Amino acid sequence: MNVKLNDNVLVICGKYAGRQGKVIATSPKNGTVTVEGINLHKKSKKARKANEVSQIVEIEAPIDASNVMVVCDACGKPIRVKHSAEGGVKHRVCPKCGATLDKAYSGKTAKAAAKKEEPKKRVRKRAKKAAEGESAEDKDE
């Protein structure tokens, strides 16, 4: 499944064909995606407490992932996702314009990611307190 969370997609068949929306949930095991404003179903919601009111709520139901195409942010066209591997990291690419679809990747190298993961240096608090104590004594004199 080449569709990920927060992708803009175009519905290519069914009742909502031709409409675009943002993916709000994915289910790779079932092969479905939930798109914002697409495949709306009405559901009755019962009041569970004394101060609540029963109502009819519209919810987005999932549709099959094969019925949507990812829309490239750079060129704005629906595309079939192409995969590319740079530096041992796989990411999704637009075959029409060559733009990267993965927002998390966005051209970062593996070295930069490894550099961020280094633990921070530990600073002793005792040394700071001792330095502050000496400066307080210097002010008194």
Structural domains of the chain, with CATH: 1-71 (2.30.30.30)
Determine the Cα–Cα distance for residues 97 and 81; give it in Å rounded to an integer. 12
**pLDDT (tens digit, 9 = 90+) per residue, 49-81?**
999 999 999 999 999 999 999 999 998 999 999
d(CA 72, CA 80): 10
Yes or no: say if 3 and 65 are a contact pair by the CB < 8 Å rule: yes
pLDDT digits (tens, 9 = 90+) for 25-52: 999 999 999 999 999 999 999 999 999 9
* Predicted pLDDT at 103: 74
Q: What is the pLDDT of residues 125-139, one digit of tens each?
A: 766 666 666 655 555
Q: Quick check: 115 pLDDT over 50? A: yes
Confidence at residue 43, expressed as pLDDT on a 0 to 100 scale: 95
Of 67, 24, 55, 60, the closest CA to residue 41 belongs to 60
Is pLDDT of 1 > 70? Answer: yes
What is the pTM (predicted TM-score) of this model? 0.66
Distance of CA 92 to the CA centre of its chain: 14
